[in-house]
Amino acid sequence: MTRYPLFYRRVWAACARIPKGETRSYGWIARRIGRPGAARAVGRALAANPFAPAIPCHRVIAADGRLGGYSGPGGLRTKIRLLKKERAR
């Protein structure tokens, strides 16, 4: 895991703590790791997540409630399916 940038590891750790059935924003994660204003960088880190679904990046959405992107297999359709399966709010 140390081969990944520290920023990415912090993003993934924060993401891993999002409870099942809940969502958080990219900005929330940025603030949580002490990097307010780094929401786009959080998105890049999540796009590089090699540990899905153990690190549930599908639980991260845009601040305005839009789903944002999903780089996993199946793209946004998969993100929607996973969130529905978890009954995410």
Task: Please pick, among 38, 57, 61, 88, the residue that the annotation labels catalytic.
Answer: 57
Distance CA 62, CA 72 (A): 17
Helix, strand, coil distribution of the chain in percent, nearest 5:
45, 5, 50
The torsion angles phi and psi of 25, rounded to 5 degrees, stand at -90, 160
Is 57 annotated as catalytic? yes
Question: Which are the catalytic amino acids?
Answer: 57
